[in-house]
Amino acid sequence: MQMDETFLRYNALDSACMVEIHNKVWPDLEDDFLDTYNMTLNIFPVLMFMQTKGVRVSHDLLDETKVDVLRTIKEKQAELDELVGHSLNVDSSKQCIAYFYGEKGITPYLNKNKKPTVDDKALQRLVRGTSTRPGLKEAKLIQDIRGLGKLYGTYLNMSFDSDSRMRGSYNPRGTKFGRLSSSKTIFDTGMNFQNLPSEFKKFLVPDPGYVFLELDKRQAEWVVVAFLTGDANMMAAFEQGIDVHTHTAHLMYNVPHEVIKLDNKLIGHSSDAQMIMELRLSDPILKDYAYSFPRTMSVRQAGKKSNHGLNYDEGYRGFAMTYEIDEKEAKRIYELYHKIYPGIKIWYEAIQRQLRAGRTLTNCFGRKVRFLGQWGDDLFKSAYSMLPQSTVVDSLNQGMERTYEDKWITKELNVDILAQVHDSILMQVPIEFVKDERTFNELHYRLTEYTSPDLTYNGRTFRIASDFKCGLNWGEFNKTTNNTGMVEIETHADLMKALEGWESISGTRASGLA
């Protein structure tokens, strides 16, 4: 290929500019940000492998998922039309505005241009309700139908590579605090691996003879916050090895763990206030707690949502919006959470003092982040999240890097690292090797050691535990709709039980065992 002089001159000037930039930037990099720079470089080999390898797509399961999604859309649309009393096009803002703000007489929610809107944020408010108006199921159904429509159009009809594999491009500096970002490939195929909905993951499957193995860091950010704040109640839960969501609910509502587990078993993930009240009143134990527990969720769910949502100075109004509950209930949850974990707000003050001293925070891996935004709450909230988020992802990236460099894992066992999603790593492992108990135990040990390094904050050293799942597809296990999906395993016996169950399943669902 002959290159013209303009092209060659452009590249020469570009290269010369890079030298000038290097000579100017490098002294600052060496002084403060060399650790971050090296962490970025070190992760490139495994990212390149992931981008090249890709994940196998089962077109049978893809077609099955499409049918399921279309059927669910039809069922939800029928339920919506029955509630409304006539047909309602969820994609028509005009029709939805006419229904909620006309027929229902609700004061309109406005967009930034001061015009009535039924965007997702407005629908969340309609679902949540107010002190004078109950939440509207119609709004939730519209959200669901729109979401399923996006799933169908965006994810289920994407372009895959010619070898029936899904690939993405990873960016190791795609976020402020070290988390990877991903996108389509340069050939406009594939998708962002970081936010795939669970319905989509069902038709991503391991290669024949392999099984998926996923390592997930257990309540990782919450654990880091516990040691950053030094809060006694948070650290007690970690040190005792108990379920932190149950522990939080226990402290918030001052009830025994057994009652919390009973309530969770009975209520599950339901958010229907009337049904929840009826269930509690019908139980001889829970009836005594019916009027003190959260109206729209199990008490464990209140603990879980608090653990996930209230560590970075989220206010009760934002909490209410996120979890679609009324503000009165959100305010009570917010106050209870910060009452039982007082160290969190004291930690906020410590972070602000560090910012005043130089606007820079450094995590235990040496990653430094300089906060140059406008001084105020938005900057503070970003800073509160930096240390926990970056600590978790740096430990996971380092573990992924060490796993990839371990020749026994990647060469002798032929384990492939396929994807990383925030707190987890997806791999595929040859079934013939992990059927051997000693091999499985050694692999389990090495993966745990690599991804659970010692972390030290405030003079205390700790490790974040790992959970493992396996499956013949990446979707969540469901006995009826996805019986070869990901299931939790703790021991080799758990793995063998899962494999034996899959071997008894005939048809395409068990094709990964072929």
Q: What is the mean pLDDT of residues 461-478?
A: 93
186: confidence class by pLDDT, cuts 50, 70, 90? confident
Question: What is the pTM for the complete model shown?
Answer: 0.85
Q: Is 256 exposed, middle or buried (0-12, 13-18, 19+ CB in 10 A)?
A: exposed
Answer yes or no: are the C-beta atoms of 259 and 283 closer than 8 Å.
Answer: no
Backbone angles phi, psi at 425, to 5 degrees: -125, 130
Q: What is the mean pLDDT of residues 238-253?
A: 91
Proportion of the chain above pLDDT 70, given as a percent: 97
Ramachandran class of 423: left when φ > 0, alpha when ψ lies in -120 to 50, beta otherwise: alpha
Question: Which residue segments constitute the domains of the chain, with CATH numbers given?
Answer: 61-155 (1.20.1060.10), 164-221+390-513 (3.30.70.370)
Q: pLDDT tens digits, residue range 299-308?
A: 999 999 999 9
The predicted pLDDT at position 103 comes to: 93
Tens of pLDDT, residue by residue over 19-38, are 888 888 888 776 677 888 88
Angle at CA 87, nearest 5°, toward 84 and 88? Answer: 75
| Residues 68-103: tens digit of each pLDDT | 889 999 999 999 999 999 999 999 999 999 999 999
The DSSP H or E segment spanning 471 is strand 466-471
- Note whether 437 and 178 are within 8 A (CB): no
The whole-angstrom separation of Cα 166 and Cα 51 is 9
pLDDT score recorded for residue 507: 47
